[in-house]
Amino acid sequence: MTREEQLLAAMVEAVDTLVDDFDLIDFLHQLCDRCNDLLDVSAVGVMLADPSGSLQLIAASDEHTRLLELFSIQSDQGPCVECSRSGTAQLNIALTSPVQTADFPRFAERARHAGFVTTHALPMRLRQQVVGALNLFDVRDQKLSERDARVAQALADVATIAILQHRTIVHGNVERSQLRAALSSRIVIEQAKGILAERWGTTLDESFDALRRHARSHQQSLTELCRQLIDGSLDTSAIRRH
């Protein structure tokens, strides 16, 4: 697809929040994929704030990024944390620069250890309401152009609207229950990833990709598929490797 077609597809995916079986986890992983394709970055992560304002990791494009984002939350530092608090984009942060990383040296060190050189964080915000942050990482010393920054913010805005729209449609107090359900789903998915990776003797990233492909090809909720894998109602042999 062309860049314009991919952007349109991202908009269409946001409209899917109107359906009853909308899967927040899968939607945000789709967002990660769109960012990887459209912005030519190495990795993507998505954090959402819970009702108390604490950040929670909801989606990441790979295992290294997931662990880095969890470290950012636990250490309470990094561009993504600052972005979610201020509602202001943090762009073209050179992780090798002591000046640019002075406020989050431990995060910068961990990010460099993961192989990343540059990072960006964009707020998931609608007017004054900030629901989280979209985080981009690159293994190259490559700045995000103004055009790409606008595309990235547009994707973050689309995701924000989709999340808030779905919360409103379900019921007025859905924010608490939806995030709780998403975090519960995250645990189930991590368990299923581990089971499949252990059975295949492969990486968590490969097992997760296989689970997502299977869920989509069978028009099934990713969370439900993982539950079936955990309780044994679906054998791992039914999942095809790429």
Question: Does 196 lie in the same domain as 116?
Answer: no
What letter represents residue 28's amino acid? L
With respect to residue 179, please indicate whether it lies within any of the assigned structural domains: no
In a domain, 178, yes or no: no
49, β-bridge pairs: 55
Residues 198 and 160 in one domain: no
Q: 10-residue block means of pLDDT along the chain (242 residues)? A: 68 60 80 87 93 89 94 95 94 96 95 96 89 95 91 88 72 64 87 94 94 93 93 91 80
The sheet carrying 43-49 orders its strands as: 55-60, 43-49, 129-138, 118-126, 90-94
Query: Are 120 and 89 found together in one domain?
Result: yes
With 0-12 CB in 10 A as exposed, 13-18 as middle and 19+ as buried, what is 42? buried
Q: Do the domain assignments include residue 166?
A: yes
Task: State residue 38's pLDDT score.
Answer: 86
Are 60 and 152 members of one domain?
A: yes
CATH number, domain with residue 156 = 3.30.450.40
The pLDDT value given to residue 165 = 75
Q: What is the count of structural domains for the chain?
A: 2
183 phi/psi in degrees, rounded to 5: -70, -35
Paired tokens of 148 = 């790409």
Whether 162 and 190 share a structural domain: no
Distance CA 56, CA 169 (A): 22
pLDDT at 8: 67
Residue ranges making up the domain that contains 202: 185-238
CA atoms of 234 and 228, how far apart (whole Å):
5
Question: What pTM was computed for the model?
Answer: 0.77
Domain assignment present for residue 176? The answer is no
Same domain, 148 and 215: no
Instruction: Please report the pLDDT score of residue 95 as a whole number.
Output: 96
Check whether residue 7 and residue 99 sit in a common domain.
yes
Say if residue 149 is in the same domain as residue 199.
no
Question: Which residues contact residue 118 at a Cβ distance below 8 angstroms, ignoring those fewer than 6 apart?
Answer: 92, 93, 94, 95, 137, 138, 140, 141, 142, 143
Q: What confidence score (pLDDT) does residue 241 get?
A: 84
Residue 197 placed within a domain:
yes
- Residue 210: CATH number of its domain: 1.10.10.10
The DSSP code sequence of 136-178 is EEESS--PPPHHHHHHHHHHHHHHHHHHHHHHHHH-TTHHHHH
> Are 79 and 22 members of one domain?
yes
Residue where a domain terminates, one of 170, 203, 225: 170
**Hey, how many other C-beta atoms are within 10 angstroms of the C-beta on 232?**
9
- Residues 98 and 190 occupy one common structural domain: no
Residue 98 is predicted with a pLDDT of 95
Per-residue pLDDT, 43: 96
Whole-number Å distance between alpha carbons of 213 and 227: 16
Do 125 and 78 lie in one domain? The reply is yes
Shared domain for 214 and 156, answered yes or no, is no
